[in-house]
Amino acid sequence: MNGSGTSAALAIETSGLTKRFGRQTAVGSLDLAVPHGSVFGFLGPNGSGKTTTIRVMLGLAGASSGRVRIFGQEMPGHLRSVLPQVGALIEGPAFYPFLSGASNLHRLDTADRHAPAATRRRRVGEALERVGLTHAANKKVRAYSLGMKQRLGIANALLMPRQLLVLDEPTNGLDPQGTREVRSLVRSLAGEGTTVFVSSHLLSEVEQICSHAAVMSAGKLVAQGTLDELRRVGLTHLSIQTPDAEAAWGVLRRLGLEPDGSEAAFDGQVSTPMNRPELLPEDIAAALVADGVRLRGFVVEAGSLEDRYVELTGEGFDVVQ
């Protein structure tokens, strides 16, 4: 990704980005490449380093090593010229509970020196309307529900026309209806040419809207690319029916695959993820036959993106720490 010429087409580019908290490495040598105009899903289970990456990207925290470029400009050096073009929702919304929704937006808008005062009232109104909060504009944020606060946080990111939106778990706390609304909002913003970088721990929430995705696990980037590319690399699954299950298991191990189950419990069936992309199914079949394994069935199944995600990040509470 460091090749010359590519930077200009990237909205966000990180290289070797590392952030340590004491001895713990929250983000380890991260190389992200977020193309201009993409809707980029930043996936990973809780604690995998998504929010930390976003904080470092936006200059809230310093990197331990590595660098970040937004629109080709070094961060945090060019923070003052870059950030006015970036709308952000970071680690959930945060507001003054004793002010109304509209006053909160008004307040945060004054912090941006590029936001013209003359249009402030109109822009606040439009942002509130865009997230469906017009009716609650004058209510104190203390009285907002979690979902309403989340919407207000998104409205804050939309106060000015933006080149880039960074949305950290934007659907947290939203009901299914709200989640759908956020999705269609992201779609319409992307349609206007805004690059959207959206993080989530749920693949299903972003799968429908993303053109690209990256997957984080325990602070490391484990996959990145267009959604199609991810699906293609997505581990296909091989299952074999054979009376010689034990022998088949041994062959698969020898080929460097990691078949499920142990030698003891086979029931005429062995299955394995195809975690060596260069190893073709036909070669596996040939190797099995050469070793005298009698094949009754040989099925190669493409995994869904969901399978791929689970495979990369671990399942349920069994996440990598």
Ligand X SMILES: Nc1ncnc2c1ncn2[C@@H]1O[C@H](COP(=O)(O)OP(=O)(O)O)[C@@H](O)[C@H]1O
Residues engaged in binding ligand X (CB under 6 A): 21, 24, 26, 44, 46-52
Closest separation between CB of residue 26 and Mg ion, Å?
A: 11
Q: What does the alpha-carbon distance between residue 292 and residue 11 come to, in Å, rounded to a whole number?
A: 54
Answer yes or no whether residue 113 interacts with another protein by CB under 8 A: yes
The one of Mg ion, another protein, ligand X, none whose footprint includes residue 31, by CB under 5 to 8 A per kind, is another protein
Of 74, 175, 229, 301, the one binding another protein by CB under 8 A:
229
The one of Mg ion, another protein, ligand X, none whose footprint includes residue 295, by CB under 5 to 8 A per kind, is none
Segment 93 to 112, residues that bind another protein, using CB under 8 A: 93-99, 103, 106-112
Contact track, another protein, 253-272, x by CB under 8 A? -----x--------------
Selection from 302, 88, 304 nearest residue 195 by Cα: 88
Answer yes or no whether residue 51 interacts with Mg ion by CB under 5 A: yes
The one of another protein, ligand X, Mg ion, none whose footprint includes residue 320, by CB under 5 to 8 A per kind, is another protein
Answer yes or no whether residue 48 interacts with Mg ion by CB under 5 A: no
Long-range contacts (CB closer than 8 Å, 24 or more residues apart) made by 203-207: 203/41, 203/43, 203/305, 203/306, 203/309, 204/306, 205/171, 205/179, 206/41, 206/43, 207/41, 207/305, 207/306
Segment 170 to 189, residues that bind another protein, using CB under 8 A: 189
Closest separation between CB of residue 12 and ligand X, Å?
A: 16
The one of another protein, Mg ion, ligand X, none whose footprint includes residue 97, by CB under 5 to 8 A per kind, is another protein
The one of ligand X, another protein, Mg ion, none whose footprint includes residue 44, by CB under 5 to 8 A per kind, is ligand X
Closest separation between CB of residue 219 and ligand X, Å?
A: 7
The one of another protein, ligand X, Mg ion, none whose footprint includes residue 217, by CB under 5 to 8 A per kind, is another protein
Of 28, 49, 50, 55, the one binding another protein by CB under 8 A:
55
Of 86, 186, 196, 248, the one binding another protein by CB under 8 A:
86
Segment 23 to 52, residues that bind another protein, using CB under 8 A: 31, 33-38
Number of residues that bind another protein (CB under 8 A): 91
Q: Which residues bind Mg ion (CB under 5 A)?
A: 51
